[in-house]
């Protein structure tokens, strides 16, 4: 049975300390993550494994005696097929690559064409149709490692990733027959990194990501003035949409149940690895937050709503579906907290709050100093799945973790459970739990 907490600041402090202490010493977040990754495995939207993850997480909430429901959505069903390439101009050397999510297929025999390298969309435009038509465009845009090493890995990623998402569309306008990119990654052991693309105009052309090593090989050959000719075979399929669901669990508020503090992470993953970093860890953190509140009999003033979003990776249908279903409730949402930044040591949160509001929150969350997570940085964007909610005027928060190695494994076959430190994951869960509780139980609302 839940015990409603008192309204005093002392009680707020005591309970946040209880949550953090319990999370650090009695965490089950790693256990949750282990089942998602090792037992269920990759969870690409529309797949059997994604459906298993929806069922298992729903059952887990029920086992913890936390009310839960599934909110149905339709999601895309893209299936990766064969993917291979070779340099027919250079003794059929093998090129290791992977199709970008949502890519169309090549003909069965593949596409054989000359490769032309570009480093920007402006360069693509300068070359024009005369030099691009009939060619495979190679976008060679590595992440800025100076930014990565200085703790700004997500900024480096955002600069490089536009060639993955928009590159195929832009190249097709000039008659390109396919696109290959340098994997958007901060490290590589000849491992390609996938990710979604967007077809919005022109002809859909096949697209893949080469490993950093193979991208450098192609660059070296082209830099010497040599003709590079590639045979590219990709056989993905886009099947009809599949019914899936967001998993929604709630702890009803004791005094203001109509007010909602949303916490969430995305349940789907890419199909190459098992989605431990992206984003099984985020799912484990928000599920653990709910379990901790329940186990410690802490019932905040406001309702805490946990949403495990489906289809963040290749469509954002879960985030869009949540907005469509709950748009009329936005005035009652007090905050939206998203966890989708891996599971390294927590360093704080990004937030849409500014100035005095951050100072007030920091004063209530001194407990986070214990785990090095008492840093708030104002940003416009705090998470993909909650982006519509935040644009609708709800204060947004996103967990920040030490980002140095996040993009070493992101969207690759190396995104597996062994990359997660259980102690770091427990600290992450503690940070999310403390922030959630303080916002949900503070006498002073953020809105």
**Number of Cβ within a 10 Å radius of residue 344:** 22
Distance (Å, rounded) from C-alpha 396 to C-alpha 394?
6
Tens-of-pLDDT digits for all 447 residues of the chain?
444 444 444 589 999 999 999 999 999 999 999 999 999 999 999 999 999 999 999 999 999 999 999 999 999 999 999 999 999 999 999 999 999 999 999 999 999 999 999 999 999 999 999 999 999 999 999 999 999 999 999 999 999 999 999 999 999 999 999 999 999 999 999 999 999 999 998 899 999 999 999 999 999 999 999 999 999 999 999 999 999 999 999 999 999 999 999 999 999 999 999 999 999 999 999 999 999 999 999 999 999 999 999 999 999 999 999 999 999 999 999 999 999 999 999 999 999 999 999 999 999 999 999 999 999 999 999 999 999 999 999 999 999 999 999 999 999 999 999 999 999 999 999 999 999 999 999 999 998
SS3 of the chain: helix, strand, coil, percent, to 5: 40, 25, 35
Q: Where are the domains positioned within the chain?
A: 3-78+240-441, 81-235
Would you state the pLDDT for residue 235?
Answer: 98
- The per-residue DSSP string of 235-253 comes to --EEEEEEEEEEEEEEE--
- Which residues are the active-site residues? 312
Task: Give SS3 for 306.
Answer: strand
DSSP string, 183-251: ---S--SS--B--B----SS----EEEE-HHHHHHHHHHHHTT---EEEEEE--EEEEEEEEEEEEEEE
Taking every pair of Cα atoms in the chain, the longest distance, rounded to a whole number of angstroms, is 74
Strands 396-401 and 346-351: antiparallel
The Cα 137–Cα 116 span in angstroms is 5
Task: Locate 63 and state its tokens.
Answer: 């086992």
Which of 3.40.50.261, 3.50.30.30, 3.50.50.60, 1.20.140.10 is the CATH number of 81-235? 3.50.30.30
How many contiguous H segments (helices) and E segments (strands) does the chain have? 14, 18
Please report the DSSP string for 336-393 in residue order.
EEE--S-SS-EEEEEES--HHHHHHHHHH-GGGGGGT---EEE-S---STTHHHHHTT
Q: For domain 3-78+240-441, is the CATH number 3.40.630.10?
A: yes
295: which 2 tokens? 């186990």
Instruction: Give the containing element (helix H, strand E) for 113.
Output: strand 111-118
User: What element of type H or E holds 259?
Assistant: strand 256-266
User: Tell me, what's the pLDDT at 202?
Assistant: 81
Tell me phi and psi for residue 220, to 5 degrees. Answer: -65, -40
Distance CA 185, CA 264 (A): 25
DSSP symbols for 9-21: HHHHHHHHHHHHH
Closest CA to 316 of 56, 102, 100, 97: 102
Q: Given this model, what pLDDT does residue 447 score?
A: 87
Which residue bears the tokens 């953090």? Answer: 20
Residues 6+ apart with CB under 8 A from 126: none
């Amino acid at each position: 049975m839940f015990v409603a907490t008192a309204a005093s600041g002392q009680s707020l402090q005591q309970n946040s300390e209880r949550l953090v202490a319990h999370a650090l010493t009695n965490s089950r977040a790693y256990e949750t993550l282990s089942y998602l990754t090792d037992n269920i495995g990759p969870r690409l939207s529309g797949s059997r494994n994604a459906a298993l993850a929806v069922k298992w997480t729903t059952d887990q909430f029920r086992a913890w005696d936390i009310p839960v429901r599934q909110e149905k959505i339709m999601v895309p069903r893209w299936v990766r097929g064969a993917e291979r390439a070779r340099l027919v101009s250079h003794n059929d050397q093998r090129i290791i690559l992977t199709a970008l999510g949502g890519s169309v297929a090549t003909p069965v025999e593949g596409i054989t064409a000359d490769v032309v390298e570009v480093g920007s969309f402006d360069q693509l435009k300068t070359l024009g149709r005369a030099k691009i038509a009939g060619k495979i465009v190679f976008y060679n845009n590595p992440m800025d490692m100076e930014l990565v090493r200085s703790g700004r890995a997500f900024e480096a990623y955002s600069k490089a990733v536009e060639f993955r998402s928009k590159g195929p569309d832009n190249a097709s306008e000039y008659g390109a027959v396919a696109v290959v990119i340098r994997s958007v990654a901060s490290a590589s052991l000849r491992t390609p990194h996938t990710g979604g693309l967007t077809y919005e105009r022109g002809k859909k052309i096949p697209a893949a990501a080469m490993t950093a090593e193979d991208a450098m090989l192609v660059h070296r050959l082209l830099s010497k003035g040599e003709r590079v000719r590639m045979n590219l075979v990709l056989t993905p399929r886009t099947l009809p949409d599949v019914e899936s669901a967001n998993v929604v669990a709630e702890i009803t508020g004791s005094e203001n149940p109509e007010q909602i503090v949303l916490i969430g992470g995305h349940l789907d993953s890419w199909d190459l690895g098992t989605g431990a970093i992206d984003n099984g860890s985020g799912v484990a953190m928000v599920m653990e937050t709910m379990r901790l509140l329940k186990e410690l009999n802490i019932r905040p003033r406001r309702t805490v709503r946990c949403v495990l979003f489906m289809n963040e990776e290749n469509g954002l249908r879960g985030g869009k579906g949540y907005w469509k279903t709950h748009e009329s409730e936005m005035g009652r949402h007090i905050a939206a907290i998203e966890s989708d930044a891996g599971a390294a040591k927590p360093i704080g949160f990004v937030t849409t709050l500014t100035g005095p509001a951050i100072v007030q929150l920091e004063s209530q969350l001194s407990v986070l100093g214990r785990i090095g997570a008492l840093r708030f940085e104002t940003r416009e964007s705090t998470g993909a799945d909650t982006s519509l909610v935040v644009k609708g005027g709800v204060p947004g928060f996103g967990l920040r973790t030490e980002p140095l190695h996040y993009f070493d494994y992101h969207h690759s076959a190396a995104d597996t459970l062994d990359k997660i430190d259980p102690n770091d994951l427990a600290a992450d869960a503690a940070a999310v739990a403390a922030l959630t509780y303080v916002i949900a139980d503070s006498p002073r609302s953020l809105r």
